[in-house]
Chains A and B, each alone.
Chain A
Amino acid sequence: MKRYLTGIDWVINSIDYLGKSQSGIGNVSEVIIELQGQLDDKILQDALRRFLQKLPLINGLPSRDLNLCPYWKVFPQEKMLSPRINTTHLEDNTDSYLSLVTQVNEPFKNKREHLVFNLVRAGKRNLLGLTFDHRLLDARGAEAFLDLFQRYYQAGIIPQVSLLEPSRLNHWLEKFMAGRQVNRFFLGLSKSSPRILPSYPGSRICKFKIISFDVRQTNHIIEIAHEQAGYLMLMPFILAKTIQVLHHVFKAKNIPGLTYLVPVSIDTRTQERVHKELFFNHMSFFFFRINADKAGEFKFLVADIKEQMYEQVKTGLSEAVKNASFLLRIAPLPLVNFFLRLMLKKQFASFSFSFVDSDYNSQKFMEEEVQNIWHLPRVPNPPGVGIFFNQFKGRINATLSYFEGVLSDNEVSQIVADIDTIGNEG
């Protein structure tokens, strides 16, 4: 069986290639579920084994068809690998989070392994981490995948998941027109001289800091977002705050450049669609270019972000990016990387950012109540730093993800403190 890869899938494969060529670790992330009670190791392992046996695509591989279109090659069920489920028992919860971070900085054992489960039992606290290959799942898909497991665990059957994706070797004129639009847009971006933190390509270790807002703080953030950015403008508000927070760091480090360039991954699918098409990548991107001299002015930032967002929706840029990326599929991954770097003169972004809603719908995982969900994405390097927001059960979480050497401990503490302030602003 084969599932053709889309252009966006191929871009994600290219980022994976870049990561592996730099550090041996690809485009990897981890989604973590915090549970109220204790999971039974044995029951968890048995249930996961039964569940994963029904999904042979999790051991697939990117391959290339006779028509030159890349596809995900799925091996027969009997050739499936045993799933890896690591269990760590700790006396207390001091190191529970560190133990999960370790998994994101380890390469998969072989080319067909794309998922690893990590159960950490730390005192009364149970954390289940799913380390996943971004070539197989995106962030929303990873949450939906765990939700799929929960539904399988409860009902014993796997709801239908669509794996159909045609080769899309047609409508070339449309794709070329989209390519022209994106190329012109990128040419404009490449002239903007963005501020970029010095990169450490040899750095292998990605570090994380998590900031969790409680329900009261989250409601407060939504309220001030409404007041300061407008109705339903939570994402632009959070992005503006993030730019301000990182602007202090760039400024203190005297990083040269005229703008901040921020790619933002977006996914307009409804929860229902995410659950039907949970594998592979379905997002596109917005690109925000902010005048660095004005990054300290919050009102300007919010207005500028809203205007750029409006323009990009109006011109259909994110759709054009999706369409244009199909043209890249013909090229092998080293060449795609070369093109992407050339287009932006090696200056991809000042930092990465995303803001996603939850796609874990169940209240429980196995029999235990889910308290919270966070993500630990290895940010691409460059830019080597990113802030990623997610929402679960009326709470906002933020993850600062950065490569060792890119930020000092003091800078990290400052960023964490500044983000934390958003939940308590008067």
Chain B
Amino acid sequence: MVDLSAKQIEEKLIRQVTLILSVDAINIKPEAPLHTLGVDSLSFVELLVFIEKEFKIKLIESGMTWDDFRTIHSLAQCIAKPRA
């Protein structure tokens, strides 16, 4: 269960992407598709590991679809949704 708002989750994700990609937060647009930010296979997996650890989500069982992973914004929205 995540007790954070979508906005707070988005901020956490942005911070993590800046760390993974070693770029300034100003360059990270939450609505931009991840591949346009420079995210590749490896950095994507690093982000997934962060999401599992930070938000205590089992991604395989979460029901998240590939569309949820398109942007930081869509990811944050999906993580913030209450789950059964």
| Bound complex: CA A270 to CA B39 (Å) | 10
Contact B41 A310 (CB under 8 A): no
Interface flag for A377 (CB, 8 Å): no
| Bound complex: CA A266 to CA B41 (Å) | 11
List residues of chain B with CB within 8 A of the CB of A272: 22-23
| Bound complex: CA A306 to CA B70 (Å) | 18
Cβ of B79 to closest chain A Cβ, rounded Å: 17
List residues of chain B with CB within 8 A of the CB of A180: none
Of listed A230, A232, A266, residue having the most chain B CB within 10 A:
A232
- Majority SS at the chain B contact face: helix
List residues of chain A with CB within 8 A of the CB of B40: 232, 234-235, 357
Cβ of A170 to closest chain B Cβ, rounded Å: 23
Contact A234 B41 (CB under 8 A): yes
List residues of chain B with CB within 8 A of the CB of A236: 41
| Bound complex: CA A266 to CA B43 (Å) | 11
| Bound complex: CA A196 to CA B40 (Å) | 30
Count, chain A residues at interface, CB 8 A: 19
Contact A235 B22 (CB under 8 A): no
* Closest chain B residue to A222, Cβ basis: B35
Q: A231-B70, A232-B35 are in contact. Are A313 and B42 (CB under 8 A)?
A: yes
* Closest chain A residue to B35, Cβ basis: A232
| Bound complex: CA A313 to CA B47 (Å) | 10
Contact B46 A313 (CB under 8 A): yes
Interface flag for B34 (CB, 8 Å): yes
Interface flag for A309 (CB, 8 Å): yes
Contact B23 A235 (CB under 8 A): no
Cβ of A410 to closest chain B Cβ, rounded Å: 33
List residues of chain B with CB within 8 A of the CB of A309: 41-42, 45
Contact A266 B66 (CB under 8 A): no
| Bound complex: CA A272 to CA B45 (Å) | 21
Contact B41 A270 (CB under 8 A): no
Interface flag for A299 (CB, 8 Å): no
Cβ of B80 to closest chain A Cβ, rounded Å: 20
Contact B34 A232 (CB under 8 A): yes
List residues of chain A with CB within 8 A of the CB of B43: 268
| Bound complex: CA A313 to CA B46 (Å) | 6
* Closest chain B residue to A229, Cβ basis: B41
| Bound complex: CA A236 to CA B42 (Å) | 9
List residues of chain A with CB within 8 A of the CB of B69: 231
| Residues of A294-320 whose CB lies within 8 A of B | 306, 309-310, 313-314
Of listed B38, B42, B44, residue having the most chain A CB within 10 A:
B42
List residues of chain A with CB within 8 A of the CB of B1: none
Contact A310 B22 (CB under 8 A): no
Interface flag for A184 (CB, 8 Å): no
Contact A313 B45 (CB under 8 A): yes
Q: A231-B66, A231-B70, A310-B49 are in contact. Are A273 and B22 (CB under 8 A)?
A: yes
| Bound complex: CA A273 to CA B41 (Å) | 19
Contact B48 A310 (CB under 8 A): yes
Contact A310 B45 (CB under 8 A): yes
Contact B22 A269 (CB under 8 A): yes
Cβ of A353 to closest chain B Cβ, rounded Å: 13
* Closest chain A residue to B70, Cβ basis: A231
| Residues of B48-70 whose CB lies within 8 A of A | 48-49, 52, 66, 69-70
Of listed B23, B38, B39, B45, residue having the most chain A CB within 10 A:
B45
| Bound complex: CA A185 to CA B26 (Å) | 39
Per-position 1/0 for B1-42, Cβ under 8 A of A: 000000000000000000011110000000000110011111
Interface flag for A233 (CB, 8 Å): yes
* Closest chain A residue to B33, Cβ basis: A231
A contact residues vs B (CB 8 Å cutoff): 230-236, 266, 268-270, 272-273, 306, 309-310, 313-314, 357
A-B CB proximity, top 3 nearest? A235-B41, A232-B44, A270-B22
**Given A235-B41, A268-B43, A310-B49; 13 other pairs, CB 8 A cutoff:** A230-B66, A231-B35, A231-B70, A232-B35, A232-B41, A272-B22, A272-B23, A273-B22, A309-B45, A313-B49, A314-B49, A314-B52, A357-B40
B contact residues vs A (CB 8 Å cutoff): 20-23, 34-35, 38-46, 48-49, 52, 66, 69-70
Residue pairs across A and B with Cβ atoms less than 8 A apart, 24 shown, are A231-B34, A231-B35, A231-B70, A232-B34, A233-B44, A235-B40, A235-B41, A236-B41, A266-B42, A268-B20, A268-B46, A270-B21, A270-B23, A270-B38, A272-B22, A273-B22, A309-B42, A309-B45, A310-B45, A310-B48, A313-B42, A313-B46, A313-B49, A357-B40
